[in-house]
Amino acid sequence: MSTTLWTLSIIFLALLFVSIVIYIMKKKVPNKDFSEVSIRVKTWWGMFLVFGMATLFSEKVSLISLMILCFFALKEYFSMMKTRKADRRLFLWSYLAIPVQFYWIYIGWYGMFIVFIPVYVFLFMPLPRILGKGTTGFLHSVSSTQWGVMLMVFGLSHLAFFQIASPEYGANLVLFLVVLTQVNDVVHHFISLYFGKRKVVPSANANITWEGFVGGAIVTAILAYFIIPYLTPFSVMAGVLLGLLISISGFLGSLTISVLKRDLLIGNHEKLKQMKGSYLNRVDSLAYTSPVFLHVVRYFYEFM
């Protein structure tokens, strides 16, 4: 607990420092637009609160806080979709899947936790749309909804399983994962913004570049090297490799959800602009890094 508290304290001080710097810069350079950075910092404060509750308090508080994160991430995802009246029941069933998924985590039933959404929810998801007697746009609405539940509920819910699987190391492993994922995102963003030239998918997100990917991977691996002894039971080599794995999977998460957002919001430039400050932008990488990290650790280490 002491290590977790120290790590959260460092993150708190870093966010406080950044917030103060932005406030001073706004006063000194009033003509410059700091809105995008300000929005990012606000969402990071929100995430800090969620993950602070998820790591400092009991398992029940952790599950509830992460369940709320899944709910808002899914809600923001659905807000991007062009919906019909027939889709409302489909969305309701999707929201109801969240507490059920977290119940499997709470009772420690790994088998059901891992197949409930990819198998049972996917198989029965079309039913409310069929019962609603809506055939127009059936495939688009069902498949889009399934993607949302898969990423925002199944992917993110893995964060909650760490403490259930390993009460001793779970909270610190979540911090290790979240810190490396967010640092990788930040480094990738700023390198791409100021030094990036080779865009990966310019049609979907001009801020995702190969330079950002390489820079993010290097910085994430270096950071993993320094925090491994404090937050994990891994060896240095294993921790660095896991840091690289987190960087690569986080890159794929950002890339995939950028393409999804662009596809869902074609022609809606105002909504696309508003989504820049959403929590969905901060957890897109975690939707990929969380399951990958959990399953790799579970495979190689007995304590999970």
- 109-112 contacts: CB < 8 A, separation 24 or more? 110/161, 110/165
d(CA 83, CA 88): 8
8 Å CB contact between 44 and 278? no
The closest alpha carbon to 181, from 301, 42, 282, belongs to 282
Task: Count Cβ atoms below 10 Å from residue 291 Cβ, excluding itself.
Answer: 20
Q: What share of the chain is helix, strand, coil (3-state, %, to 5)?
A: 80, 5, 15
Question: What is the predicted pLDDT for the residue at 15?
Answer: 73
Query: Would you state the structure tokens that stand for residue 89, as one six-digit string?
Result: 């029941």
The closest alpha carbon to 44, from 82, 12, 10, belongs to 12
d(CA 53, CA 36): 26
The closest alpha carbon to 187, from 238, 151, 231, 221, belongs to 221
What does the DSSP assignment read for 124-139? HTHHHHHHTT--TTHH
Q: Can you give 163-210 as a three-state secondary structure string?
A: HHHCCCCHHHHHHHHHHHHHHHHHHHHHHHHHCCCCEEECCCEEEEEH
8 Å CB contact between 190 and 176? no
d(CA 293, CA 236): 16
For the chain, the straight-line distance linking the first and the last C-alpha, in angstroms and rounded, comes to: 18
Residuewise pLDDT in 10s, the chain (304 residues): 566 676 677 777 777 877 787 778 777 777 766 666 666 667 667 767 766 766 666 778 888 888 988 998 898 888 887 777 767 888 889 999 999 999 999 999 999 999 999 999 999 888 887 776 666 777 888 888 999 999 999 999 999 999 888 888 888 898 899 889 988 888 888 888 778 788 887 776 667 888 989 999 999 999 999 889 888 899 999 989 999 999 999 999 888 888 887 777 655 555 555 555 555 666 788 899 999 999 999 999 888 7
For the chain, how many residues are written?
A: 304
Q: What are phi and psi of 56, to 5 degrees?
A: -90, -30
Q: What is the model's pTM?
A: 0.84
Strands (E), the chain: 199-201, 205-209
d(CA 25, CA 34): 8
